[in-house]
Amino acid sequence: MNLLTKTAVTLLLSLLFPVLGQAGEDALYAADAPDGATFIRVVNADVNGNIPQAEIGGKAIKDIEPLAASPYIHLPAGTYQLEVGDQAAPITMEKDRFYTAVVLDSGELEILPDKSFKNPRKALISFYNLTDDGGISLKTANGKVSVIEPVDSLSVANREINAVKVSLGAFAGGEALASTSPVNLQRGTVFSFFIMDVGGSPRLVVAENQVDTSI
């Protein structure tokens, strides 16, 4: 059995059967934030340069590199104005909810609601289709195991799985678009996979979700 086939079998088993054991509550990535807070981060989907600063609620998220996601920051629940460069977008954020603001290559802002996650026994995968094309799915890199069904353009879908180390790929139908190196999906963590169009070539970017409570 080759390595890719072993990886596919391992992921399939992780999707079907529970893993024994329990992680502590401190493994949850928002554990240090205030009770009832709301959370937002910024993703720079523009390959052309850093985002020097994004401002919301009197807080600033600085120096977001191209094709990268900032940590989440926390705010009291409420209605805010997010400002990035000369773009601004209103957003009403509910307590205990998470949001991703995407800066597209056009400079426009797209705000997507994220899934709250409070399961220390699982890992959460969030798959963001940041391309203009719909119907992109997330599978094991060899295409043998489906992880997240096709996602529309500028949309996100989620799935909880058990801990596993695996390479994942974005697919349009049966066509492989892009893949990642092996990712260690540990219990109590959230990983975001972003499929982006970089100069006409798709790229799959992965980031572990974090909250920066120092901001």
Q: CATH classification of 3-208 is 2.60.40.2890, yes or no?
A: yes
Average pLDDT over residues 147-175: 96
Boundaries of every domain in the chain: 3-208
pLDDT at 30: 58
Question: Global pTM?
Answer: 0.86
Beta pairing class for 190-198 and 123-129: parallel
Q: Looking up tokens 């790929």, which residue turns up?
A: 169
Percent of the chain clearing pLDDT 70 (strictly above): 86
Query: What is the separation, in whole angstroms, between the first and last Cα of the chain?
Result: 48
Taking residue 126's Cβ as centre, other Cβ atoms within 10 Å add up to 23
pLDDT in tens, 149-158: 999 999 999 9
Buried-state track 41-74, b at ≥16 Cβ within 10 A, e below 16:
bbbbbbeeeebeebebbeeebeebebbbbbbbbb
Alpha-carbon distance of 146 to 139, in angstroms, equals 4
